[in-house]
Amino acid sequence: MDPELFEKWMMIILVGGLVAFMAFIIWDLAKKSKAGKLGTAILFLGLGLCLFAFIAKPVIGYIVEMARGIPH
């Protein structure tokens, strides 16, 4: 297997696992602190915003490159 391809897949898999684990941590924090629905939503919004930005950045970059006609 090509090292570049291996690195690409490991980045996707491991970062995806990290994002899922972080979501579990936020959910567990909300549950243990008895935050309620609004508190849980605020926790996910505040703490999960960086996760959303990390995921959205490559997607937005891909969309911009396709709009400009830059092939992958």
Number of domains in the chain: 1
pLDDT in tens, the chain (72 residues): 788 889 888 888 998 898 899 889 999 999 999 999 999 999 888 888 877 887 788 889 889 988 887 665
Which helix (H) or strand (E) covers residue 34, if one does? Answer: none
Domain holding 42, by residue range, is 3-68
Question: What is the model's pTM?
Answer: 0.65
pLDDT at 72: 59
- CA-to-CA distance for 30 and 36, rounded, in angstroms? 8
